[in-house]
């Protein structure tokens, strides 16, 4: 293959505006690779400049230079297909020659970014800039990722979760969570009340599980991932005992709940209460919760976006 490979005849740098002032997000791109991406919101302008440097001062002919702003959904089990839900393009230069470095500004104004960025088990929702220097022999392409958040207003209704767990004549417990919808920096507050205990329980834990659904039947994939495992009791409880629950979400790598994004994927979250007895038998009960991203108090733009989304 090396016999047919070509050295890149030029360097391309993509620099976004306001990089020093803009918030960044630490993103896991691959298994062992992380990268800081600049954070953008729906409706924000994406602007910057592209610098192109021919190598060794050689004259380079091209048939045009363009920059694209792209939003794609990529399925890991079908890498040959990328679903583009956003594609904007600006021509930076008409056909000509390059011999010295050139800097070309660009701006995509008030871009609608209807989905939040997401890197999951089987799917990736990605926003990026792509610069293409077209040539007769081989195009030169560079890409730069950015990250998008979507904020939501707090829900008007937020019901309490109450459920019972029971094994006839052995165990009966009642658990309660103060609400069913949480923002990503929220606190899960609840309690567990033991009405009947005839099992020797070794310990109890609370887990947060993310269930990712990708594709459509018959080619639909479901993957569950335990993101948080939190021990709430060690030792056997007594009848009438109450165990409080207080779990801070801010320290965990959570995303909002996503519902049928572009008809390609969904993510749902569940609180899973697990009891383990002295024989290592497990008893569990799951209840679904909804997670949403709440706008920071000091971000006027984010709050305006959240209000507009809520109104629509």
Range of lowest pLDDT (11-25, 38-52, 131-145, 185-199): 185-199
Predicted TM-score of the model (pTM): 0.85
**Closest-CA residue to 135 (of 53, 63, 65, 66):** 63
Residue written as token pair 């320290």: 251
Which residues lie closer than 8 Å to 18 by C-beta, 6 or more apart? none
pLDDT the model gives residue 298: 62
Instruction: Please indicate whether residue 164 or residue 261 has the higher confidence score (pLDDT).
Output: 261
Task: Tell me what the mean pLDDT of segment 17-30 comes to.
Answer: 85
Query: Which letter does DSSP use for residue 295 in this model?
Result: P
Report the C-alpha gap between 193 and 182 in whole angstroms: 23
Within 10 Å of residue 280's Cβ, how many Cβ atoms?
Answer: 7
Q: What's the CA gap between 162 and 157, in Å, rounded?
A: 16
Go through the chain and tell me how many residues it has.
312
What the block records as the tokens of 297 is 């108090």
The pLDDT score that the predictor gives to residue 299 is: 59
* Tens-digit pLDDT profile for residues 72-111: 999 887 777 789 999 999 999 999 998 889 999 999 999 9
- 267 forms bridges with which residues in the sheet? 212, 258
Which residues are within 8 A (CB) of 183 and not within 5 positions of it... i.e. 6 or more apart? 154, 291, 292, 293, 294
């Amino acid at each position: 293959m090396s016999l047919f490979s070509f050295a890149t005849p030029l360097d391309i740098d993509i620099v976004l505006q306001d990089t020093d002032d803009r918030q960044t997000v630490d993103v896991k791109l691959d298994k062992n690779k992380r990268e800081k991406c600049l954070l953008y919101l729906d409706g924000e302008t994406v602007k910057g400049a592209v610098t192109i440097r021919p190598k060794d001062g050689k004259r380079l002919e091209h048939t045009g230079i363009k920059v694209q702003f792209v939003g794609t959904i990529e399925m890991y089990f079908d890498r040959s297909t990328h679903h583009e839900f956003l594609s904007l393009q600006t021509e930076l230069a008409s056909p000509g020659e390059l011999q010295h470095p050139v800097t070309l500004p660009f701006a995509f104004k008030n871009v609608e970014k209807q989905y939040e960025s997401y890197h999951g088990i089987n799917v990736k929702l990605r926003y990026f800039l792509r610069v293409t220097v077209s040539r007769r022999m081989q195009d030169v392409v560079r890409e730069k990722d950015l990250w998008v958040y979507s904020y939501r207003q707090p829900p008007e209704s937020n019901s309490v979760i109450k459920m019972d767990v029971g094994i006839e004549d052995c165990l009966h417990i009642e658990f309660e969570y103060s609400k069913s919808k949480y923002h990503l920096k929220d606190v899960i507050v609840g309690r567990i009340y033991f009405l009947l205990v005839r099992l020797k329980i070794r310990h109890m834990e609370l887990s947060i599980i993310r269930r990712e659904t990708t594709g459509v039947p018959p080619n639909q994939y479901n993957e569950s991932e335990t993101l948080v495992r939190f021990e709430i009791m060690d030792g056997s409880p007594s009848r009438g005992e109450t165990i409080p629950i207080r779990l801070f979400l801010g320290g965990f790598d959570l995303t909002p709940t996503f519902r049928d994004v572009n008809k390609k994927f969904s993510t749902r979250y569940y609180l899973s209460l697990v009891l383990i007895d002295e024989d290592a038998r497990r008893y569990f009960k799951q209840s679904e919760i909804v997670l949403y991203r709440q706008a920071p108090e000091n971000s006027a733009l984010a709050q305006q976006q959240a209000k507009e989304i809520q109104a629509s």
